[in-house]
Structure 1
Amino acid sequence: MYNKAVTRIAIIEDDETIREGYAYLIDHTSPYQVVNTYASFETAKHQLAKDNPDVILLDIQLPGVSGIDALPLIKKMLPQVYVIILTVFEVEKTILDALANGASGYFTKNTPSAKIIDAIKEVIMGGGPMSPNVARTVIRSLQKNFDSPLTKREAQILDLISKGKDRSQIASELFIEVETVKTHVKNIYIKLNVNSKADAIKIAKANRLI
């Protein structure tokens, strides 16, 4: 028999160093207990129900089933569990998809360890903790102009352009071809009636399109 009074944590993270680091941190600097760690959702799914964790720390970029796709499966298996995303991804679509799929919190991996411990406490208390930059992305998404002439993908690409990303970086980040990015950029210019990046960004920001 285990003591359910102790908050139980499971970690799904493919990087062994990071996985073991979080486990050590939680077991040695918090009142919480790590009940199991996994390198993928595939290895976790057969054991998670037995682990019966209160909180799961979940990476997005996992081998096989991604963290985003694993989220609804985890929530179906363990409806009461809180899932905190720990990832390198700060792309708006990824953040919103994670939250829509049931994540209770979202942090980037450069978050100080003490903040992760605080985040576990916060989700248990019913909060929705996020890195400041993630929270800003969510707020900005909610404040966007929903009458935008731009598609979601066009707005996403223009937002990345505004952050200084070039076409090849955007293609890599969004898992699309460079030619596809070029086509989207061309459509953005037509829709906004501009001929330059600077003008497209200026108009988009003035009209809350990004």
Structure 2
Amino acid sequence: MTRILIYEDNTQLRDVLSILFEGTPGFKLVGAYPDCRHVLTQVRQAEPDVILMDIDMPGISGIDGLRAIRAAGFKSKVLMLTVFDDNKNVFESIRAGANGYILKKTPPAKLLEFIEDSLNGGAPMTSSIASQVLNMFAAQYRSGTDDFDLSQREQEVLNLLVDGYSYKLIADKLCISMDTVRSHIKKIYDKLQVNSKSEAVAKALRNR
């Protein structure tokens, strides 16, 4: 059973999430709170596998609550569940130790997938957030702060990925085969020392 702990000050959403996890096989709701003023005591008692953390809550923000969780040494996966999609909140959340960043408009079925992804070592993010982070990453590359030894073609492939192109559209745009696109992307991941898009996103945030 995956143990879920919720921090959400919106009563209606907190109730909806509670019903979702109480009614889904394989999940167990171990707590649902409107703020994280007593987060350390609650996490210690509940022993959650995954914490869904709102950002804008009364008293202590979700990001500060996350910092307290990490400072205390708790290893639970923490997924920020929020309406905020700005760079500052995304970046500060990942720096504080978040394992993912999900917008509240995410459908329930997708939310369950994101939770499973985090438990399997992924860094789940709503697609619009991932795209934003990749844009931040590409901007860093173009600024010359760290070129990661990418070739000109690899840079072109990365920029097209950031712009939302599929593998097929990249192949068409650059007049290369799908296999060549996959080869370039594998080399990009190797040079960034990541194994997936999720890891690339997390690394980009942690290193600006």
Amino acid at match of 2:53: L
- Is the Cα–Cα contact under 8 Å of residues 49 and 78 in structure 1 kept in the other structure? no
% of aligned pairs identical?
34
Deviations 1:127-169 (A, max 9, x none): 1111000001111111114369xxxxxxxxxxxxxxxxxxxxx
- Is the Cα–Cα contact under 8 Å of residues 30 and 117 in structure 1 kept in the other structure? no
Q: Pick which of 71-80 and 90-99 moved more.
A: 71-80
Task: Tell me which residue corresponds to 1:167.
Answer: none
45, 48, 53: which one aligns with 1:50? 45
Task: Tell me which residue corresponds to 2:143.
Answer: 146
Instruction: Tell me how far apart the structure 2 counterparts of residues 69 and 12 of structure 1 sit (CA, whole Å).
Output: 12
Confirm or deny that 1:124 pairs with 2:124: no
Confirm or deny that 1:113 pairs with 2:108: yes
71, 89, 92: which one aligns with 1:94? 89
Amino acid at match of 1:73: A
- Is the Cα–Cα contact under 8 Å of residues 81 and 104 in structure 2 kept in the other structure? yes
Instruction: Tell me how far apart the structure 1 counterparts of residues 119 and 71 of structure 2 sit (CA, whole Å).
Output: 19
- Is the Cα–Cα contact under 8 Å of residues 60 and 87 in structure 1 kept in the other structure? yes
Task: Tell me which residue corresponds to 2:30.
Answer: 35
The size of the alignment, in residue pairs, is: 143
Amino acid at match of 2:63: I
Deviation, 1:48, is 1.6
7, 21, 24: which one aligns with 2:19? 24
Larger Rg: 1
Deviation, 1:78, is 4.6
Task: Tell me which residue corresponds to 1:15.
Answer: 10
Deviation, 1:76, is 2.4
- Is the Cα–Cα contact under 8 Å of residues 10 and 36 in structure 1 kept in the other structure? yes
Instruction: Tell me how far apart the structure 1 counterparts of residues 56 and 84 of structure 2 sit (CA, whole Å).
Output: 9
Deviation, 1:7, is 1.5
- Is the Cα–Cα contact under 8 Å of residues 12 and 41 in structure 1 kept in the other structure? yes
TM-score, normalised on structure 2? 0.65
Amino acid at match of 1:59: D
- Is the Cα–Cα contact under 8 Å of residues 59 and 87 in structure 1 kept in the other structure? yes
- Is the Cα–Cα contact under 8 Å of residues 79 and 98 in structure 2 kept in the other structure? yes
Unaligned runs of 5+ in 2: 146-208
Deviation, 1:23, is 1.1
| SS of corresponding position for 2:106 | coil
Task: Tell me which residue corresponds to 1:70.
Answer: 65
Q: Pick which of 18-27 and 139-148 moved more.
A: 139-148
Over aligned residue pairs, what C-alpha RMSD do you find? 1.5
Amino acid at match of 1:39: P
Deviation, 1:44, is 3.2
Task: Tell me which residue corresponds to 1:135.
Answer: 130
- Is the Cα–Cα contact under 8 Å of residues 85 and 105 in structure 1 kept in the other structure? yes
Instruction: Tell me how far apart the structure 1 counterparts of residues 33 and 4 of structure 2 sit (CA, whole Å).
Output: 12
Deviation, 1:91, is 0.3
Greater relative contact order: 1 or 2 (C-alpha under 8 angstroms, separation 6 or more)? Answer: 2
* Pair 1:69–1:146, CA change in 2 (3 A): farther
